[in-house]
Amino acid sequence: MPVVDIKNVLVCDAVDSACVDLLKSNGINVEYKLKLPKEELCKIIGNYDAAIVRSDTKITEEVLEAGAKGNLKAVGRAGAGVDNIDVNAASKQNVIVLNTPGGNSISACELTCLLIGSLARPIVPAGQSMKEGKWDRKLYSGSELYGKTLAVLGLGRIGREVGIRMKTWGMRVIGFDPITTEAEAKAAGIEKMSLEEIWPLADYITVHTPLIPATRNLISTETLGKCKKGVKVVNVARGGIIDEAAVITALESGQCGGAAFDVFPEEPPKSEVTKALIAHPKVVATPHLGASTAEAQVRVAVEVAEQFIALTGKSKEFT
Ligand code: NAD
Ligand code: MLT
């Protein structure tokens, strides 16, 4: 790997302080400047050799051009996806893009499992009703996960971890992935099959793919129509993999029995469709919390710092 001269790093989002401590202890200057408007970011980014983001700051073509006119040589994402970084524009500007793909997988997996549970048992509305002074036992009856079929679409790091855990709850876990082999799926307790075989079998569907043209609206009016009546869907991957308008219609008709969303096409959500989805009584929504645990944030912070230190050609020193 070529040695890259990184002396000054700009941290644009709320990355754990473990990242700053590690960079500083390796002689790299770090400045935190959160929630910078795009114009301000463009003005100053060229003063730094590298920038670190989570998902809030958008590293667009304009930002990269401005940075590359100055010193910018690398951008690091303390997280898995690099959706908020224009990777093509970065290549054009010879700016290296780094990410930390595995650091938050367990946290994202655990949130997924909790959301599946919250669709089986109406914990969220029942808890809210108690805060309102009510005691409605009949209203909040649920169903067991035991014996039900969970379909996992995307059998990568997170999808497989979800399969392993939900299998121990007595669910049959089936799944689809164009790359993961049958043997790899089986090792996680997942029966690999085609999407057409999956739709009529699933009681729950959880998506764990990147958002790419092939996965946009993977769950749609058409595919929901092929499912059992009352199928429940979960998206802790990326907004847009499940068509939100299709889910609202299916919730109204009963074709969909409940839905949980951690991610949205636009964050924070502004569209009327997303707002209607979040407000729906059969929907559990969380504000992109998949990676929001103490453990995951330390892990991704350390991993991104280690990668920058490796770029400089030094071996890391811990304080
Ligand atoms: P991964 O790369 O390990 O796995 C993704 C899998 O999707 C791969 O195995 C790939 O072959 C598969 N895939 C690609 N196209 C597919 C298709 N058309 N149909 C089915 N499968 C397909 O990724 P990961 O680390 O498991 O992350 C999964 C998703 O979760 C990503 O979108 C990531 O950005 C997101 N994520 C969200 C949070 C959060 O906070 N909510 C946290 C971490 C990751
Ligand atoms: C990721 O891609 O790692 C997640 O979406 C989590 C995050 O943005 O913090």
Output the ligand 1 site: residues, CB below 6 A: 80-81, 101, 104-105, 108, 153-159, 176-180, 208-210, 214-215, 236-238, 262-263, 288, 290-291
Rounded to the nearest angstrom, the distance between the alpha carbon of 243 and the centre of ligand 2 is 20
Nearest CA among 242, 213, 254, 245 for reference residue 151: 242
pLDDT at position 314, please?
78
User: Which of 15, 84, 105, 288 should be mutated for ligand 2, with most atoms under 8 A from CB?
Assistant: 288
Alpha-carbon gap, residue 315 to 28, rounded angstroms = 13
pLDDT at position 183, please?
98
* pLDDT tens digits for range 182-238: 999 999 999 999 999 999 999 999 999 999 999 999 999 999 999 999 999 999 999
> Could you confirm whether 267 is annotated as catalytic?
yes
What phi and psi values does residue 107 have, to the nearest 5 degrees? -65, -45
Query: Which atom number of ligand 1 is nearest to the Cα of residue 179?
Result: 11
pLDDT at position 2, please?
66
Nearest bound ligand to CA 205?
Answer: 1
Read off the pLDDT of each residue in 126-133 and give the average, rounded to a whole number. Answer: 98
Mean pLDDT of the chain: 96
pLDDT at 319 over 50: no
